[in-house]
Amino acid sequence: MSSLNKNTFFKSLMFYFPTLILFLSVLNEIDFNYLAIEYFSFNFAYVLIFYWTLKNPYYLSYGSIFIAGLINDVVIGIPIGISSFCYLLICAVTAYLRNITLTPNFINDWLSLLVTILLINSIQVMSLDLIFSIEVNYMKYFINSGFTFILYPLFLFIFNSIENRIKFQKND
């Protein structure tokens, strides 16, 4: 393990881990839809962006989030720019939360995530339906928002341990 810590490639890989995972998730659409469970889907990118821009935006730049949004639009086939806008709105909410919060609180963060995803999914549905006349399934959006919210603590635990690892690498 100590040899791994000394490896500069491994260190930079850990540093760019959130960005790497974000790009992989938008290219691959990590949502376990292939399990074909009818009422199960979640938005991994939302959780990832929310966590890293809230806790430590140093690891995930706004520029890369913007580009990841453009890629996501292309992969899922919705008009270009919508996902970027939604992702950046999450960043705006997290930046605001960071500015007003003195002592971070898990419940506050969790509820803020719920409000944020309901807001951005509403914006996405409205723009797709009203501006681009693309019919969308409201129930699926609702379920997607619900599972994204429910699964946040699980991803929080995983990302926390990764963040500790990155910090450990940095201080090494």
Partner 1 sequence: MVSSRDDFVIAIRSAFLKKSYQQKFSLLTLIFLSLIIIILGSLNFKPIQYVKIGINEVIYRSSFIVSIPENYIKKLDLQLKDHLNLYDNYKRNETTLNELKKEKLNNDFLVLENNRLRELINESVQSQDIYAKVLVDKDSPYLKSIVVNKGSKNNVKLGMAIVDDIYLVGKIIEVNYTNSRALLLSDLNSKIPVLLEPAGIHAVLSGTGKNYGVIEFTKEEYNQELSNKELVVYTSGYGGLFKSGLPVGKINNSKENNKNEINFFSDFRQLDYVKIVSYEMESEN
Q: Which parts of this chain interact with partner 1 (CB under 8 A)? A: 24, 27-31, 33-36, 38, 41, 56-58, 61-63, 65-66, 69-71, 74-82, 84-85, 88-89, 91-92, 95-96, 98-100, 127-128, 131-132, 134-137, 140-141, 143-144
| 116 touches 93 (CB < 8 A) | yes
| 66 touches 24 (CB < 8 A) | no
**Smallest gap from residue 3 Cβ to partner 1 (A):** 27
**Smallest gap from residue 2 Cβ to partner 1 (A):** 29
**Smallest gap from residue 81 Cβ to partner 1 (A):** 3
**CA–CA dist 18, 119 (Å, integer):** 24
Q: Residue 42 or residue 152: which is nearer to partner 1 going by CB?
A: 42
**CA–CA dist 145, 60 (Å, integer):** 23
Taken in order 130, 134, 135, 137, is the CA torsion positive or negative? Answer: negative
Q: Residue 33 or residue 122: which is nearer to partner 1 going by CB?
A: 33
Write the DSSP string, 15-57.
Answer: HTHHHHHHHHHHHHT-S-GGG--TT----HHHHHHHHHHHH-G
Q: Residue 70 or residue 119: which is nearer to partner 1 going by CB?
A: 70
Q: Residue 13 or residue 74: which is nearer to partner 1 going by CB?
A: 74
**Smallest gap from residue 11 Cβ to partner 1 (A):** 17
Q: Residue 58 or residue 157: which is nearer to partner 1 going by CB?
A: 58
| 54 touches 162 (CB < 8 A) | no
